[in-house]
Amino acid sequence: MTNLPPEDQQKPAAPEKTPNPRREFLRSATLFTGTVAALGGGLELLSRRPGAVAESVQPGLIGQAKRPLGPYDAKDAVTPYEQATTYNNFYEFGTDKADPARLAGTLKPRPWTVKLDGEIKKPMTVDIDTLQSWFPLEDRIYRMRCVEGWSMVMPWLGFPLAGLIRRMQPTSKAKYVQFTALLDPKQFPGQKSAVLTWPYVEGLRLDEALHPLAFMAVGLNGRVLPGQNGAPLRLVVPWKYGFKGIKSIVRITLTEKQPKTTWSIATPSEYGFYANVNPKVDHPRWSQATERRIGELGRRPTLPFNGYAEEVASLYTGMDLRKNF
Ligand SMILES: Nc1nc2c(c(=O)[nH]1)N[C@H]1C(S)=C(S)[C@@H](COP(=O)(O)O)O[C@H]1N2
Ligand SMILES: [Mo]
């Protein structure tokens, strides 16, 4: 299949379809619009956290000798902050890439609680700041490949999901992790539309969730996570398509059975539970062989598991990845 994806085709028969003027703007946008002065209070907040390295993190400069790269960091050039925060998929705010940045002001990321429940020793509801204080914050520069055929490189700040799962003390029945995003049409105007079923839900197999690359982000470019990128807490699974990275999480549940996931509820023939980045398995409506890196001209080849095959391929030994797409 050689079709290139129209980038707004991911949505299932959206009732209102608006053109996306953002796209042309992005192609010509200039690099490095961020400045240290622009960091503001968010940086302060994060630099007080245990283990935070925010003082070494500057918008648009991270990855350029500001700190040594760690074993989990991509060596790719980081996508400029301006682009990573204005070209977003977050259907709770609308289906246009520009909607989240425009409307994210209605999302109130504090106070915020996260319910931890299901197959765990002691279910509880915890305040986001308490949850965050349980772990030292780490930087992770990860590639992010959207199923629509574009990609970015994001400098996240957060903690490995594995630490949180271990702290939740799974029972012997726990086989999967289910994530649930906030349901509140007052904060998320897009939830008044039935374009997807709400709340947005996602899931991982327990061994995937325990992999050291699976990450919970609370910050981006050394600043607190902007609303449009999933404040105050979002999942990042860099070897899977971007839609697995559920934003604005309010509940994490360990389950015995494979949980439902939003995009496979919407269109099961097009979006599976695994959603591992795979250039050999095309989307029914477009090729997945190449991608457009935001900020670059032309397209580049898409790598198996988004370039993380060495780390994660063994999770899927013996599985038919065409069937389990
Ligand atoms: N709650 C929620 N999470 C979501 C989405 C969404 O619509 N709602 N979109 C997903 C998709 S399709 C992508 S590509 C990424 C985009 O993340 P970013 O805007 O931070 O780059 O978020 C994912 N997480
Ligand atoms: Mo996506």
What's 150's domain CATH number? 3.90.420.10
242 C-alpha to ligand 2 centroid (Å): 4
Check if the beta carbon of residue 244 is closer than 8 Å to that of residue 235: yes
Residue 12: beta bridge partners? none
Closest Cα to atom 7 of ligand 1:
90
List, for residues 299-321, the tens digit of each pLDDT value: 999 999 999 999 999 999 999 99
The tally of CA atoms less than 13 A away on the side-chain side of residue 77 is 9
Distance 6 CA to ligand 1 centre (A): 17
Output the CA torsion sign for 14, 196, 301, 299.
positive
- Quick check: is 165 in a domain? yes
Q: How far is the CA of 184 from the centre of ligand 1 (A)?
A: 17
Predicted confidence (pLDDT) at residue 9 exceeds the cutoff of 90:
no
Can you tell me the mean pLDDT for 21-45? Answer: 31
Mean pLDDT along residues 7-14: 47
Which residues place a Cβ less than 5 A from the ion ligand 2?
Answer: 89, 146, 242-243
Atom of ligand 1 nearest to the CA of 196: 7
Q: When comparing pLDDT for 15 and 159, which is higher?
A: 159
Residue 281 covered by a domain: yes
> What pTM was estimated for this model as a whole?
0.85
Distance CA 165, CA 181 (A): 18
Residue range 188-231, pLDDT digits in tens: 999 999 999 999 999 999 999 999 999 999 999 988 999 999 99
Is 74 a residue whose pLDDT tops 70? yes
* Per-residue confidence (pLDDT) for residue 31, from 0 to 100: 26
Tokens of 100: 């989240």
In this prediction, residue 91 carries a pLDDT of 98
Domain hosting 51: range is 6-55+73-316
pLDDT of 222: 84
pLDDT of residue 43 exceeding 90: no
Residue 323 resides in a domain: no
Asked if residue 68 is part of any domain, the answer here is no
According to DSSP, the residues that pair with 160 across neighbouring strands are: 215
Burial per residue of 249-268, b for 16 or more beta-carbon CB atoms within 10 angstroms, e otherwise: bbbbbbbeeebebbbbebee
Handedness of CA 155, 163, 274, 313 (dihedral sign): positive
Which stretch of 9-18, 163-172, 281-290 has the lowest confidence by average pLDDT?
Answer: 9-18
The confidence score (pLDDT) of residue 69 equals 87
Mean pLDDT of all residues in 238-242 = 99
Residue 10 has pLDDT above 60, yes or no: no
324 within domain boundaries: no
pLDDT at res. 7:
53
Percent of the chain, pLDDT > 70?
80
3-class DSSP state of 158: strand
Nearest atom within ligand 1 for CA of residue 90: 7
Mean pLDDT of the chain, nearest integer: 85
Length of the chain: 325
- The stretch 82-109 carries a mean pLDDT of 98
Closest atom, ligand 1, to C-alpha of 263: 12
Query: Quick one: tokens of 7?
Result: 């980038």
Q: Ligand 1 pocket test: which of 179, 182, 243 has the largest number of ligand atoms within 8 Å of its C-beta?
A: 243
Does residue 16 surpass a pLDDT of 70? no
Pocket of ligand 1 (CB under 6 A): 88-92, 144, 146, 152, 181, 200, 229-230, 242-243, 245-248
61 lies in a domain? no
Q: Is residue 143 part of a domain?
A: yes
- pLDDT confidence band for 11 (50 / 70 / 90): low
What is the predicted pLDDT for the residue at 248?
A: 98
Residue 297 lies in a domain: yes
Q: How many domains is the chain built from?
A: 1
Residue 51 has pLDDT above 90, yes or no: no
